[in-house]
């Protein structure tokens, strides 16, 4: 009888565990959806408010839009250190996983979807050195399995330097794309000559006119908004609904981040995985999924340079600003970093930066390179979860 009772109790416990894990997965999906959706809505509303206060489009691009890309990671990381059950290893795992996802998956699929043979972009002056340097510095900071608050302050300072540098280059008309962090220069013959935003708008309007004329449609008019960026689409006007949207999105971000961390902990405990593994795979993929869809659209439209700029900006912001800001909320002196993040995730992240650099130097993206990048991502997922 004792044996039967023990077996029945074990069966009941197993069934309860199966139910709980499905609840945890459902919670994770819903919480991640709320977090990403809230971040998108908050960023869009903040962009409209920025325009209403007269901020230049480029400044909005390198601050609100660029930071909004990494907002889900930042919120999840902060909740990982301030929650009732702190899980500090989630922080570095999420940052590394997000950068690996951006470099290998987002960029790889963008290359597969793009038919462009040569990049009209020069990122070797500031952006690539910044990406390479910040990635190496981040590796040194976490290499001893911890990340201190002094590391965080230095990281915040460096991310501020990059944003300031990008804004200054934008005002000097060296950077002309207003929606991503990075340089976007048109190629003329053998020389790379920067175009002003007005020249870019004029070229886009001329192209629209030519296309419309070829289709027998009315020609598009060249218009300039208050910031001199005609043709880029004016943001929605700011009304009381804009501020309500910001408040509602902030609520979604708060609860989405809180429940995401709780669900990650439950899934990791059930499968006896380190929490950084779940953060570096499921959370990173989900937070990058909207960016992946946008990148596919841009690549098909021949705007692969925008994808490159977005990947650079998001990667620098993740390793410097997300880690740095999160360190200000930690309860102890340091943030713990999981061994698999250092031994498996970090080498692949640095390899991605190196491959990114070679692609930028060559400036000839190919579908073969895209397939190689996606293969690297599959290997990353398999090695973390123990499939490979």
Q: Could you give the CA distance from residue 273 to residue 269 in angstroms, rounded to a whole number?
A: 6
Higher pLDDT, 9 or 119: 119
Instruction: Answer yes or no: is pLDDT of 209 > 60.
Output: no
Whether the pLDDT of residue 14 is over 60: the answer is no
Mean pLDDT value of segment 17-44: 84
Could you tell me which residues are beta bridge partners of residue 336? Answer: 146
Give the pLDDT band (50/70/90) at residue 273: confident
Position 379 confidence tier, pLDDT thresholds 50, 70, 90? very high
Residue tagged 């175009």 (tokens)? 195
Name which residue leads in pLDDT, 385 or 61: 385
Q: What is d(CA 72, CA 69) in angstroms, rounded to the nearest whole number?
A: 8
Confidence check: pLDDT of 126 > 50: yes
**What's the chain's length in residues?**
388
Q: What's the pLDDT tens digit per position in 177-195?
A: 433 434 333 333 334 444 4
CB 303 within 8 A of CB 64: no
pLDDT of residue 203: 57
292-301 long-range contacts, CB within 8 A, separation 24+: 292/105, 292/106, 292/109, 295/106, 295/107, 295/109, 295/110, 296/109, 296/110, 296/113, 298/110, 299/109, 299/110, 299/111, 299/113, 299/114, 299/116, 300/113, 300/114
- Given a cut of 90, whether residue 174 has pLDDT beyond it is no
Residue range 323-361, pLDDT digits in tens: 999 999 987 778 999 999 999 999 999 999 999 888 888
Domains and CATH numbers, the chain: 2-385 (1.20.1420.30)
Residue 313: what pLDDT?
Answer: 85
Mean pLDDT of the chain: 77
Question: Taking the CA atoms of the chain, what radius of gyration do you get in angstroms?
Answer: 23
* pLDDT reading at 151 higher than 90: yes
Q: Of residues 204 and 184, which shows the higher confidence score? A: 204
230-271 pLDDT, tens digit each: 334 455 678 889 889 988 988 888 888 888 888 888 888 888
Question: For residues 355 and 217, which has the higher predicted lDDT (pLDDT)?
Answer: 355
As a whole number of angstroms, the distance between CA 317 and CA 323 comes to: 9
The 3-state secondary structure of the chain, one letter per residue:
CHHHHHHHHHHHHHHHHHHHHHHHHHHHHHHHHHHHHHHHHHHHHHHHHHHHCCCCHHHHHHHHHHHHHCHHHHHHHHHHHHCCCCCCHHHHHHHHHHHHHHHHHHHHHHHHHCCCCCCCCCCCCCHHHHHHHHHHHHHHHHCCCEEEHHHHHHHHHHHHHHHHHHHHHHHCCCCCCCCCCCCCCEEECCEEECCCHHHHHHHHHHHHHHHHHHCCCCCCCCCCCCCCCCCCCCCCCCCHHHHHHHHHHHHHHHHHHHHHHHHHHHHHHHCCCCHHHHHHHHHHHHHHHHHHHHHHHHHHCCCHHHHHHHHHHHHHHHHHHHHHHHHCCCCCCEEECCHHHHHHHHHHHHHHHHHHHHHHHHCCCCHHHHHHHHHHHHHHHHHHHCCC
Per-residue pLDDT, 228: 36
Would you give the distance in Å from CA 322 to the centre of its chain? Answer: 11
pLDDT, position 192: 40
Give the pair of three-digit tokens for residue 16: 């309860």
How many CA atoms within 13 Å lie on the side-chain side of 7?
4
């Amino acid at each position: 009888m004792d044996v039967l009772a023990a077996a029945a109790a074990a069966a009941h416990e197993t069934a309860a565990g199966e139910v709980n894990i499905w609840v945890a997965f459902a919670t994770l999906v819903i919480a991640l959806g709320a977090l990403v959706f809230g971040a998108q809505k908050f960023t869009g509303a903040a962009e409209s408010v920025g325009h209403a206060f007269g901020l230049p489009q480029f400044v909005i691009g390198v601050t609100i839009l660029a930071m909004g890309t990494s907002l889900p990671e930042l919120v999840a990381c902060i909740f990982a250190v301030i929650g009732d059950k702190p899980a500090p290893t989630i922080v570095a795992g999420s940052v590394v996983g997000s950068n690996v996802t951006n470099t290998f998956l987002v960029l790889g699929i963008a290359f597969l979807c793009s038919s462009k043979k040569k990049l009209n972009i020069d990122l070797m002056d500031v952006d690539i050195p910044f990406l390479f340097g910040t990635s190496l510095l981040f590796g040194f900071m976490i290499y001893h399995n911890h990340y201190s608050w002094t590391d965080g302050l230095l990281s915040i300072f460096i991310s501020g330097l990059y944003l300031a540098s990008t804004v200054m280059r934008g005002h000097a008309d060296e950077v002309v794309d207003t929606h991503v962090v990075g340089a976007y220069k048109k190629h003329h013959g053998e020389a790379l000559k920067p175009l002003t935003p007005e020249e870019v708008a004029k070229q886009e309007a001329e192209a629209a006119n030519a296309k419309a004329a070829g289709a027998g449609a009315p020609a598009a008019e060249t218009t300039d908004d208050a910031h001199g960026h005609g043709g880029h689409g004016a943001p929605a006007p700011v009304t009381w609904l804009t501020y309500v949207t910001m408040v509602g999105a902030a609520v979604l971000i708060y609860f989405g981040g809180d429940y995401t961390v709780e669900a990650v902990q439950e899934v990791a405990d059930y499968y006896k995985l380190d929490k950084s593994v779940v953060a570096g795979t499921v959370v990173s993929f989900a937070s990058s999924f909207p960016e992946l869809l946008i990148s596919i659209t841009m690549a098909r439209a021949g705007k692969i340079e925008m994808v490159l700029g977005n990947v650079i900006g998001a990667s620098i912001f993740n390793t410097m600003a997300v880690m740095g800001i999160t360190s200000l909320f930690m309860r102890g002196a340091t943030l713990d970093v999981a061994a698999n993040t250092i031994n498996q995730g970090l080498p692949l992240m640095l390899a991605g930066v190196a491959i990114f650099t070679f692609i930028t130097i060559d400036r000839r993206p190919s579908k073969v390179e895209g397939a190689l990048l996606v293969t690297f991502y599959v290997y990353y997922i398999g090695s973390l979860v123990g499939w490979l």
